[in-house]
Amino acid sequence: MMKEVWKDKYEILKEELAQRGVNLEEVKESIKDLNIETPSWGYSNAGTRFATFEEAYAARNVEDRLEDAAKVQELTGGSPSVAIHIPWDKTSDYGKLREKAERLGVEIGAVNPNLFEDYDYKFGSLAHPDSSVRQKAVDHVFECIDVMREVNSDVLSLWLADGTNYPGQDDFRDRKNRLENSFSRIYDELPDGAKMLIEYKPFEPAFYHTDIADWGMSLNYCNKLGEQAKVLVDTGHHLKGTNIEHIVSFLIDEVALGGFHFNNKKYADDDLTTGSINPYEIFLIFQEIVKAESDPDVEDLDISYMVDQMHIIKNKLEAMIQTVNTVQKLYAKALIVNQTALEEEQKNLNPVKAEEVLKEAYETDVDPLIKKIMVEEGRSPEPLKAFRESGYMEKITQERS
């Protein structure tokens, strides 16, 4: 009965979108091409700064993490790659790891160095006052670049915990110069065609200042490095009230938008599932991207869509499925915005009608469209339901306990 309901709704939606002049087949192909990379670390045990909460089913090693990521891809069709974190995912043979991923139906995506857990990084990594510590951090990133070559990855994703906790602890400009030097050495080692993504974060774990505190600082470093360096926007790493869609549009115009970490937050830096707090924000971000993609004056966009979430309360795999499915829906809503009508109302200086064009798309129920795509690809139209009925949770819980 449920299948018939969504099928009927799809036919109604198809007719409605045709009246709006939307090419539904093009929309479907764009959604099918969307790659939302899930993080290997999101399938393992997680916690807060106070404690780690262990789950019997949680992935124990990189092989388990690949299997979980493959299960999410099998059910959603929207997450064909998985990011890895070194040394959390360190292994003796990365060629075999790549082959295992391929056998499971996924590929290895971004490689993430760990520049925050080692005791030597207490006062920073790439910006540390001690040149020997900076060298250690640079060498670790070089190691990750070697891993990129072995797993056929073309994305190096950098996030630093570097900063200070107290006024006077270190010199701001000295830290900036040290970081520029470290970045330059790393950039020179990048494989041809690879991207170096530089993430930013306003605070935490540093209490007083963070070395890359906002998108402008990240953009400045990228501009000094070259065209292979791009800004990574984490939708959870912003001060409350920040207009992220404005930042995204600005970075697109500067040919500097490299990728996303899709998270949500209520107050500060949180790894909540995408769309759980403010789905309209993600829709508006996608609207800027979709509009730019159809603009002949905009260079081809090369955006890596990634998830960076570690779940404690939610089932880890269900949270990933939920996030991927939500991103697909919000992207679909952006794809059906009547861009011609929007541009017309913007030219007419009519903010009410312009906003109504956006709201018409956002309030459209695209769930039947996503279900139709799932069925066309041979998947269940209800990925969460299919996961719960698959027996996968029972299987991995028994194997990993």
| Domain ranges, ordered by start, for the chain | 35-334
Query: Do the Cβ atoms of 283 and 334 come closer than 8 Å?
Result: yes
Contacts for 49 with CB less than 8 Å, ≥ 6 apart? none
Tokens representing residue 141 in the block: 């990133």
Long-range CB pairs of 360-365, under 8 A, 24+ apart, other chains included = 361/283, 361/333, 361/334, 361/336, 361/337, 362/280, 362/283, 362/333, 364/13, 364/16, 364/333, 364/336, 365/9, 365/13
Query: Tokens 């075999």 label which residue?
Result: 96
Domain 35-334 has CATH 3.40.1360.10: no
Query: Do the Cβ atoms of 380 and 374 come closer than 8 Å?
Result: yes
Can you say how many angstroms the Cα of residue 157 is from the centroid of all Cα atoms in its chain?
A: 11
For residues 93, 98, 102, 105, the Cα torsion angle rounded to the nearest 10 degrees is 110
**Residues pairing with 241 in the sheet:** none
What span, in angstroms and rounded, lies between the C-alpha atoms of 331 and 27? 10
Residue 47: φ, ψ to 5°: -170, -165
**What is the model's pLDDT at position 1?**
46
What span, in angstroms and rounded, lies between the C-alpha atoms of 107 and 197? 19
What span, in angstroms and rounded, lies between the C-alpha atoms of 210 and 204? 8
Instruction: Please report the sign of the dihedral spanned by the C-alpha atoms of residue 8, residue 11, residue 15, residue 18.
Output: positive
Q: For 251-290, b where at least 16 C-beta lie within 10 A, e where not — what string?
A: bbeeebbbbbbbbbbeeebebbbbbbebbebbbbbbbbbb
Residue 259: φ, ψ to 5°: 180, 175
Q: Is 6 helix (H, G, I), strand (E, B) or coil?
A: helix
For helices 24-33 and 367-376, the axis angle rounded to 10 degrees is 70
Contacts for 107 with CB less than 8 Å, ≥ 6 apart? 80, 81, 82, 98, 101, 152
What span, in angstroms and rounded, lies between the C-alpha atoms of 329 and 321? 12
Tokens representing residue 216 in the block: 């402008």
**What is the model's pLDDT at position 300?**
87
Q: Tell me what percent of the chain is helix, strand and coil, each rounded to the nearest 5.
A: 50, 15, 35
**What is the model's pLDDT at position 49?**
74
Q: Which of 97, 88, 186 is nearest to 137 (CA)?
A: 186
Q: Give whole-number Cα distances, 370 to 23, 258, 285, 312, 377, in Å.
A: 15, 26, 19, 28, 11
Query: Tokens 């939610």 label which residue?
Result: 314
Q: Whole-model pTM?
A: 0.96
Can you say how many angstroms the Cα of residue 225 is from the centroid of all Cα atoms in its chain?
A: 23
Tokens representing residue 268 in the block: 């500060």
> Per-residue pLDDT for the chain (401 aa), expressed as one digit of tens each?
455 799 999 999 999 999 999 999 999 999 999 999 999 999 999 887 788 889 999 999 999 999 999 999 999 999 999 999 999 999 999 999 999 999 999 999 999 999 999 999 999 999 999 999 999 999 999 999 999 999 999 999 999 999 999 999 999 999 999 999 999 999 999 999 999 999 999 998 999 999 999 999 999 999 999 999 999 999 999 999 999 999 999 999 999 999 999 999 998 877 899 999 999 999 999 999 999 999 999 988 999 999 999 999 999 999 999 999 999 999 999 999 999 999 999 999 999 999 999 999 999 999 999 999 999 999 999 999 999 999 999 999 999 98
**What is the model's pLDDT at position 269?**
76
DSSP-derived secondary structure for 229-251: EEEEEETTSS-TT--HHHHHHHH
Q: Is 279 helix (H, G, I), strand (E, B) or coil?
A: helix
**What is the model's pLDDT at position 229?**
98
Alpha helices in 152-278 (DSSP H): 172-187, 215-225, 244-253
